[in-house]
Amino acid sequence: MRLRENILKTWLIRRRTVQFLMIAALLLQRFEEDFIAGNLSSMTISGLELSDPLAVLQYILSSGNIYLPLILSSTLILLFYLVVGGRVFCSWICPLHLVFEYTDKIKSRISGADKSFGISTRYWVLFLALAMSLIAGIPAFEVLSPIGITTRALVFGTWLGLLSLPAIAVFEIGFSRRGWCRYFCPIGAFYSLVGRLSLLRVKINHSLCTKCQVCKKDCLVPDVLDGPINGKRKIVDSGDCTNCGICIDVCPEKALKPGTRF
Ligand code: SF4
Ligand code: SF4
């Protein structure tokens, strides 16, 4: 029965496949740098340059240079996330999210502190990262970010950098559920702004929904499901939804499905 339940979690399987492929791609370039080179801030795959828009914004602010190829490569990525959902970066691409999904399972099994730092904190961190880039003349968050440190560790084998992961994991398990992603990560903040406008959305069929709240129990940002479950929204329209598909997998009534905002 348990195995059957897991097999039915098709969105989880798809997402795990993409998450592990991304990690494999980062590791692959240690052997195949002609085909793939770079990290999650800027990557070249078979000659195609792709850049993270927030990293490019920091580069422009820190250097004062507007380099057209970087603008074009980040516009491609921005358009992609405007279609699939901004925080798709978080749940499908970011290697930290993968780790913290498992620490979240540990946290949910042990009761304990769940300190809120306020959702607006991450927007202040985003503002600070951009301001520091402008003032200090370096892409500030790129240098300090646990995501950058982790991807550099995977790409260059600087494994000591991975120590930031257990530090955040202890913070999340001990003090604040999903604390880094919810309250501090400026990349999540940036992509949640993009996600407010994005096309692909989880849709609800109100005639099937029994308001059992099972989806909210498993969703990593459960508040985003309030409007759809209460009948006030036909879609999950919050920029915080990561389009992870967990709610679609777990809804016993099949009331949720992927769709568009229209
Ligand atoms: S799990 Fe499905 S039926 Fe239950 S509240 Fe969520 S959408 Fe409604
Ligand atoms: S609403 Fe559904 S798709 Fe969106 S983050 Fe929550 S579980 Fe994932």
Q: Which of 178, 247, 250, 261 to probe ligand 2 with, by most ligand atoms within 8 A of CB? A: 247
The pLDDT mean for the chain works out to 89
239 lines ligand 2 (CB under 6 A): no
**pLDDT value at residue 79:** 97
**pLDDT value at residue 227:** 96
What is the distance between the alpha carbons of residues 51 and 69, in angstroms, rounded to a whole number? 9
What is the distance between the alpha carbons of residues 68 and 55, in angstroms, rounded to a whole number? 14
26 lines ligand 2 (CB under 6 A): no
Taking the domains of the chain in order of start, what are their residue ranges?
2-195, 201-260
**pLDDT value at residue 86:** 94
62 lines ligand 2 (CB under 6 A): no
What is the distance between the alpha carbons of residues 224 and 217, in angstroms, rounded to a whole number? 12
Ligand 2 mean position, distance from CA 256 (Å) = 10
**pLDDT value at residue 141:** 82
Q: Which CATH architecture has domain 201-260?
A: 2-Layer Sandwich (3.30)
85 lines ligand 2 (CB under 6 A): no
- Tokens standing for 243? 């389009």
Of 146, 104, 132, 126, nearest to 191 (Cα)? 126
246 CA closest ligand 2 atom index: 7
pTM, full prediction:
0.89
**pLDDT value at residue 1:** 46
Ligand 2 mean position, distance from CA 255 (Å) = 13
The protein residue whose alpha carbon is closest to atom 2 in ligand 2 is: 247
Q: Which of 205, 207, 212, 236 to probe ligand 1 with, by most ligand atoms within 8 A of CB? A: 212
Return the biggest CA–CA distance within the chain. Answer: 59
Ligand 2 mean position, distance from CA 148 (Å) = 25
**pLDDT value at residue 7:** 54
184: number of Cβ within 10 Å: 19
What is the distance between the alpha carbons of residues 13 and 8, in angstroms, rounded to a whole number? 9
**pLDDT value at residue 6:** 53
What is the distance between the alpha carbons of residues 188 and 218, in angstroms, rounded to a whole number? 19
Q: What is the pLDDT of residues 120-157, one digit of tens each?
A: 999 999 999 999 999 989 888 877 788 878 887 777 77
Of 52, 9, 24, nearest to 190 (Cα)? 52
**pLDDT value at residue 226:** 96
Kindly list the protein residues whose Cβ atom lies closer than 6 A to any atom of ligand 1: 204, 209-215, 229, 251, 253, 255-256
Q: Which of 224, 233, 261 to probe ligand 2 with, by most ligand atoms within 8 A of CB? A: 224
Of the listed ligands, the closest to the CA of 231 is 1
**pLDDT value at residue 3:** 45
* C-alpha 63 chain-centroid distance: 27
Q: How do the residues of the chain divide into helix, strand and coil, expressed in percent and rounded to 5?
A: 60, 10, 30
Phi, psi of 13 (to 5 degrees): -65, -45
**pLDDT value at residue 88:** 97
**pLDDT value at residue 261:** 93
Q: Which residues of the chain have pLDDT under 50?
A: 1-4
- Tokens standing for 122? 């991450």
